A and B are shown apart, each in its own frame.
Chain A
Amino acid sequence: MNDNKRSPLKTLSRIWSGYSFVFIFAAIFAAYVIVNSSLTWVGVTNILRHSAVIGITALGMGLVVITGQIDLSVGSMLAFVGGFAVMVFNVTNSILLTCLTAVVCGGLCGLVNGVLVGKAKMPAFIVTLATMLIFRSLTRYICHEIPATISGGSNSLFKLLSANSMFKPFYNFGNSKVFTLPVTGLFLIALTALIVYVTTSTKFGKQLYAVGSNERAARLTGIDVDGRRVAVFVITGVLTGVSAFLWISMNASVDPATTGGSYEMYAIAAVVLGGISMAGGRGKCVGILFGIMSYTIIDKIIVALKMNTLLNDTVKGAILIVAIIVQTMSPVVKEHFAARRARRQGA
């Protein structure tokens, strides 16, 4: 700790421990380039497009994890909010109202989580496990009970009514490009930039780290710890609402049973791969973008290799384990070498 020598090895190890997500991303991207004989610009920009929905959700998860909590409900919430937004579109034929519904409805779902965790002091794991079950079940129930004229599909599918005059513009928006970049991907980049700004350069953002790092001390510095807890869950809800809006604009439908399935797990995995500590208080939000893109590329590698896509999660899980070993091992390895040096000096 005390020696301030700046050896190149030390600088490298500092960059490694702070930005390991970049190296992991680069390695996976390199693998993608190698296995993909016919690499195209469209293929590359599609990574962004396919990362958008889960990535925006994961940004919220990142904030929750920074405060030392977890949100398991985001996947179900995505389906719940998405289903609602589809029905609003089918009834009103308004893209703006659909977007507002998704964002507000997401925020309210997040508020439920936030109040139960922040104000009622219940453990986040339990609360969001419960709301995960509730959101999923309600989505399926509503879809089953609502007339097909509103749900737009069947009793097991929400579908944008293609008869609506705004259907085409809506669907085109979700699949449009700006300067060859998919618009959904731009949403992801813009929101990542916003969250990075909030977490690095605003008082609110720094308070989230403080809450996750030492809750008692944070409270005693005057930070409204409970309020911050509520806030991160509401933000996660709002971001999930944005994700849901993008999802329906891209897919024109929401399947109550499968949409957003396991998304909470992918979001957590991306956050962890992005170098954010599950213990709270540490990590960079820009890592989430790299984490989620790494996972999207893995999907594409598996397709390119013509492997069975059922193996997707095996590969993703394995890479998560390897990434965590790399991240957490570095202090252990350092300690090992320090101890060895000390022994040698002692002898």
Chain B
Amino acid sequence: MNILEMRGISKAFNGVEVLKNVDLTIEEGEIHTILGENGAGKSTLMNILTGVVPMDRGRIIFRGQPIERPTVPLTEKLGIAFVHQELNLFPTMKVYENLFLTKEPTHRLGALKKREMIARSRAFLEALGVEIDPNALVSELRMGQKQLLEIAKALFFEAKLLILDEPTTALNNEEIDRLFAILRRLRDGGTSFIFISHKMPEIFALSDRYTVLRNGAFIAQGRVAETDAEALARLMVGPAYTGADVYRRRTLGGEALSLDRLSGPGFRDVSLTVRKGEILALTGLQGSGSSELMQAVFGALPVERGSISVGGKALAGRGIHAAMKAGIAMLPANRKENSVVPDMTILENTYLSEHTLSARRPHISRRAEQKKFDALKKTLNIKAESSANPVLSLSGGNQQKVFLARWLNTGGDILFLDNPTQGIDVGSKAEIYQLILSLAESGKTILINTLEIGEIQKVADRCAVFYDGRLIKLLPHEAIDEHTVMMYSTNAVETMEA
């Protein structure tokens, strides 16, 4: 019997269709995985189901009842719960307070019935098989316990259908096993789950059926037992996409950067050598450790073990400044948080990094800075009326070029680009690819971390695929295609070999 039917769901944002006639059926007492690349429409579909976003067209039937206009309070009341990736718990409050929040039983004068709440929490958590003390502070719980508490909270409000958005991202293997055991038991008891995950081994270990979305469209649905990881990866990616016409083969120089068994937060035992003038793409799904690796080499995150050498020489000292002196530059991900200095002008934003290297000459010569900016503006084709305008007056693509200029200005030979085309329109993206290639031609060594495989095909000489903190495959340019990369980054390869 179906607990949920979504039929012909369509949604457009600003005229761009993000969901086209999508169908989704969930049976009672099943774990159903939704698969799709970043931007396939998974989260929009879930947001429509929970009432966060209104749909343009389509029907939703939940437990036999049509939901005409879903809203968050309504879907919650009906028993649909969204367990988000970033947990919605109150860390400074106790476990039982989190469970009962807004639904606390009270005495007549409004005093809380604490003893009753604690007792009911304990009984409920025990029945669930979750070992959490109701009196503990949430901030003192382990990550896995928090995840379980979040799920318990949904069940406590008698949720019938839980949406789990990558629930294992922050968990270790033991915690994952315990979580899965509880989920299976709940499923056998009749609760349904929508499971969103990129990790093939987990999908095959846990779920009963799957639905694949691609570019906002329904692609396939079926039983997990009747398919394999490769088939799923192919469904997610679709007919192999090749648009690698900007790529040009170049002659590479000697060793520029070498990592030896480097370990740090989120990655371990990474060994890698990059040659001068090479473009190396790092990729992997969210949490694979490729971004953390970049940040650690740049000195923004600590290195736990292993060594880094630049141009054959061991990196002297630690920290961002040491890396910059060795000629490493990093354009970080999340432009707004990590790059934009919002109160400053375009010119000021451009010269900040270089000034930390030339701090011995404290005076700023406006004319010299403007001259340098004009040269960079021409190279990068920055569209800005005046360098004295606030940086926020520029479009996303032009802002990103300003930050690229910030790092080219330092004269660094090794450029790290962490997700450089995030939130940038298609035209600027193409420009940035061209730029990356011509920078490499001029002798810069470039490491680019990105989740977009099409992007990697366009620029990269080699592609390093990360899974779960380890570098699991180095692909040469010819071997880079969406299907292969997806196979490695979901670790479908290991699943098939096993």
**A interface residues, Cβ below 8 angstroms from B:** 1, 4, 201-204, 206-207, 209-210, 212-214, 216-224, 281-282
Contact of B344 among A202, A210, A222 (CB under 8 A): A210
Within 8 A of A (CB), among B460-475: none
A212's nearest neighbour on chain B, judged by CB, is B343
State in angstroms the CA–CA spacing of A216 and B340 once bound together.
Answer: 9
B 183-226 binary contact with A (CB < 8 Å = 1; else 0): 00000000000000000000000000000000000000000000
State in angstroms the CA–CA spacing of A213 and B321 once bound together.
Answer: 20
State in angstroms the CA–CA spacing of A214 and B352 once bound together.
Answer: 12
CB distance from B370 to the nearest CB of A (A): 14
A222 near B321 (CB under 8 angstroms)? yes
CB distance from A210 to the nearest CB of B (A): 5
Chain B residues whose C-beta falls within 8 Å of the C-beta of A4 in the assembled complex: 385
B340 near A214 (CB under 8 angstroms)? yes
Known: A1-B393, A220-B338, A221-B353. A209 touches B362 (CB 8 A): no
State in angstroms the CA–CA spacing of A221 and B356 once bound together.
Answer: 8
B 370-411 binary contact with A (CB < 8 Å = 1; else 0): 000000000000000100000001000000000000100010
Chain A residues whose C-beta falls within 8 Å of the C-beta of B235 in the assembled complex: none
Chain B residues whose C-beta falls within 8 Å of the C-beta of A210 in the assembled complex: 341, 344, 348, 352
B344 near A209 (CB under 8 angstroms)? yes
CB distance from B302 to the nearest CB of A (A): 14
Known: A206-B348, A210-B341, A217-B337. A222 touches B357 (CB 8 A): yes
A221 near B364 (CB under 8 angstroms)? no
Chain A residues whose C-beta falls within 8 Å of the C-beta of B358 in the assembled complex: 203
B364 near A201 (CB under 8 angstroms)? yes
Contact of B332 among A1, A203, A220 (CB under 8 A): A220
Chain A residues whose C-beta falls within 8 Å of the C-beta of B321 in the assembled complex: 222, 224
A213 near B342 (CB under 8 angstroms)? yes
Candidate in A214, A219, A281 with the most chain B CB atoms within 10 angstroms: A214
Known: A222-B324, A281-B343. A206 touches B364 (CB 8 A): yes
CB distance from A194 to the nearest CB of B (A): 13
Q: B300: CB under 8 A from chain A?
A: yes
B338 near A217 (CB under 8 angstroms)? yes
B385 near A217 (CB under 8 angstroms)? no
State in angstroms the CA–CA spacing of A138 and B339 once bound together.
Answer: 44
Q: B7: CB under 8 A from chain A?
A: no
Candidate in A201, A212, A214, A217 with the most chain B CB atoms within 10 angstroms: A217
Contact of B363 among A201, A207, A220 (CB under 8 A): A201
Chain A residues whose C-beta falls within 8 Å of the C-beta of B352 in the assembled complex: 206-207, 210, 218, 221, 223
A220 near B356 (CB under 8 angstroms)? no
State in angstroms the CA–CA spacing of A214 and B337 once bound together.
Answer: 8
Candidate in B341, B358, B363, B410 with the most chain A CB atoms within 10 angstroms: B341
B340 near A203 (CB under 8 angstroms)? no
State in angstroms the CA–CA spacing of A201 and B366 once bound together.
Answer: 8
CB distance from A220 to the nearest CB of B (A): 5
B356 near A214 (CB under 8 angstroms)? no
A224 near B364 (CB under 8 angstroms)? no
Q: B359: CB under 8 A from chain A?
A: yes
State in angstroms the CA–CA spacing of A129 and B359 once bound together.
Answer: 33
Q: B330: CB under 8 A from chain A?
A: yes
Chain A residues whose C-beta falls within 8 Å of the C-beta of B348 in the assembled complex: 206, 209-210
State in angstroms the CA–CA spacing of A282 and B343 once bound together.
Answer: 6
B406's nearest neighbour on chain A, judged by CB, is A221
Contact of B353 among A1, A204, A214, A222 (CB under 8 A): A222
Size category of the binding interface on chain B:
20 to 34
State in angstroms the CA–CA spacing of A13 and B342 once bound together.
Answer: 20
CB distance from B332 to the nearest CB of A (A): 5
Chain B residues whose C-beta falls within 8 Å of the C-beta of A220 in the assembled complex: 300, 320, 330, 332, 338-339
**Given A201-B364, A203-B356, A206-B355, 8 extra CB contacts under 8 A:** A206-B344, A210-B352, A213-B343, A216-B337, A218-B341, A221-B356, A222-B320, A281-B343
Chain A residues whose C-beta falls within 8 Å of the C-beta of B357 in the assembled complex: 222
CB distance from A3 to the nearest CB of B (A): 12
B353 near A217 (CB under 8 angstroms)? no
Chain A residues whose C-beta falls within 8 Å of the C-beta of B366 in the assembled complex: 201
B362 near A202 (CB under 8 angstroms)? yes
Chain A residues whose C-beta falls within 8 Å of the C-beta of B300 in the assembled complex: 219-220
CB distance from A63 to the nearest CB of B (A): 15
B 321-355 binary contact with A (CB < 8 Å = 1; else 0): 10010000010100001111111100010011101
CB distance from B452 to the nearest CB of A (A): 22
Chain A residues whose C-beta falls within 8 Å of the C-beta of B342 in the assembled complex: 213-214, 281
CB distance from B260 to the nearest CB of A (A): 25
State in angstroms the CA–CA spacing of A203 and B361 once bound together.
Answer: 8
Known: A222-B320, A222-B353. A209 touches B343 (CB 8 A): yes
B324's nearest neighbour on chain A, judged by CB, is A222
Chain A residues whose C-beta falls within 8 Å of the C-beta of B359 in the assembled complex: 203-204
State in angstroms the CA–CA spacing of A218 and B338 once bound together.
Answer: 8
Within 8 A of A (CB), among B220-271: none
Candidate in A1, A220, A282 with the most chain B CB atoms within 10 angstroms: A220
Chain A residues whose C-beta falls within 8 Å of the C-beta of B341 in the assembled complex: 209-210, 213-214, 217-218, 221, 281
CB distance from B177 to the nearest CB of A (A): 36
CB distance from A233 to the nearest CB of B (A): 19
B362 near A222 (CB under 8 angstroms)? no
Chain B residues whose C-beta falls within 8 Å of the C-beta of A202 in the assembled complex: 362-364
Chain A residues whose C-beta falls within 8 Å of the C-beta of B330 in the assembled complex: 220
Within 8 A of A (CB), among B401-457: 406, 410
A203's nearest neighbour on chain B, judged by CB, is B355
State in angstroms the CA–CA spacing of A138 and B362 once bound together.
Answer: 38
State in angstroms the CA–CA spacing of A201 and B355 once bound together.
Answer: 12
CB distance from A55 to the nearest CB of B (A): 24
Chain B residues whose C-beta falls within 8 Å of the C-beta of A222 in the assembled complex: 320-321, 324, 353, 356-357, 410
A217 near B356 (CB under 8 angstroms)? no
Chain A residues whose C-beta falls within 8 Å of the C-beta of B406 in the assembled complex: 221
State in angstroms the CA–CA spacing of A222 and B323 once bound together.
Answer: 9
Question: Can you spell out 25 A-B residue pairs with CB atoms less than 8 angstroms apart?
Answer: A1-B393, A4-B385, A202-B363, A203-B362, A206-B344, A206-B351, A206-B355, A207-B356, A209-B343, A209-B348, A210-B341, A210-B348, A213-B341, A216-B337, A216-B338, A217-B337, A217-B340, A217-B341, A218-B352, A219-B300, A220-B320, A221-B352, A221-B356, A222-B356, A281-B342
State in angstroms the CA–CA spacing of A210 and B358 once bound together.
Answer: 16
CB distance from A212 to the nearest CB of B (A): 8
A207 near B337 (CB under 8 angstroms)? no
Candidate in B343, B359, B362, B406 with the most chain A CB atoms within 10 angstroms: B343
A222's nearest neighbour on chain B, judged by CB, is B356
Chain B residues whose C-beta falls within 8 Å of the C-beta of A282 in the assembled complex: 343
State in angstroms the CA–CA spacing of A221 and B324 once bound together.
Answer: 9
State in angstroms the CA–CA spacing of A139 and B276 once bound together.
Answer: 63
Chain B residues whose C-beta falls within 8 Å of the C-beta of A224 in the assembled complex: 321, 356
CB distance from B262 to the nearest CB of A (A): 20
CB distance from A214 to the nearest CB of B (A): 5
CB distance from A338 to the nearest CB of B (A): 16
Chain B residues whose C-beta falls within 8 Å of the C-beta of A213 in the assembled complex: 341-344
CB distance from B360 to the nearest CB of A (A): 9
Known: A219-B300, A220-B338, A222-B324. A207 touches B355 (CB 8 A): yes
Please name the 8 residue pairs, one residue from A and one from B, whose CB atoms are nearest each other, closest first. Answer: A203-B355, A222-B356, A281-B343, A213-B343, A221-B353, A221-B352, A202-B362, A282-B343
Candidate in A4, A207, A221 with the most chain B CB atoms within 10 angstroms: A221
Chain B residues whose C-beta falls within 8 Å of the C-beta of A1 in the assembled complex: 393
Chain A residues whose C-beta falls within 8 Å of the C-beta of B324 in the assembled complex: 222
State in angstroms the CA–CA spacing of A85 and B361 once bound together.
Answer: 35
